[in-house]
Amino acid sequence: MLQIPVQIAFTLSADLQKSTLHDLQRDVRREARRALLGALGNAIGQVEKALLAAPVLCAGCRRPMRSRGRSARRIVTVFGSLQLQRARYGCRNCGAVRRPLDEWLGVLAGTECTAAVREQALYLAAELPYERAADVLRHVGGVGISGRQIQHLLRAESAHIEAALGLPREEAAKSLRRRFRRAGKAGATAGARRILQLRRLKTSGRWEAYWVGRFREEPPTHPRAGRGSSPRVEQSR
- The pLDDT tens digits of the residues spanning 148-193 come to 999 999 998 888 888 888 755 444 455 555 555 555 455 457 788 8
* 66 and 81 assigned to the same domain: yes
Residues 211 and 225 in one domain: no
Domain of residue 197: give its range: 115-215
- Shared domain for 97 and 141, answered yes or no, is no
Total tally of structural domains belonging to the chain: 3
Q: Are residues 230 and 153 in the same domain?
A: no
Assess whether 56 and 123 both reside in one domain: no
Q: Are residues 150 and 102 in the same domain?
A: no
* Overall pTM > 0.85: no
97-137: per-residue pLDDT in tens? 999 999 888 776 667 888 899 999 999 999 899 999 999 99
Q: Kindly report the three-state secondary structure assignment for every residue of the chain.
A: CCCCCCCCCCCCCCCCCCCCHHHHHHHHHHHHHHHHHHHHHHHHHHHHHHHCCCCCECCCCCCECEEEEEEEEEEEECCEEEEEEEEEEECCCCCEEECHHHHHHCCCCCCCECHHHHHHHHHHHCCCCHHHHHHHHHHHHCCCCCHHHHHHHHHHHHHHHHHHHCCCCCCCCHHHHHHHHHCCCCCCCHHHHHHHHHHHHHHCCCHHHHHHHHHHCCCCCHHHHHHCCCCCCEECC
129 and 194 share a domain?
yes
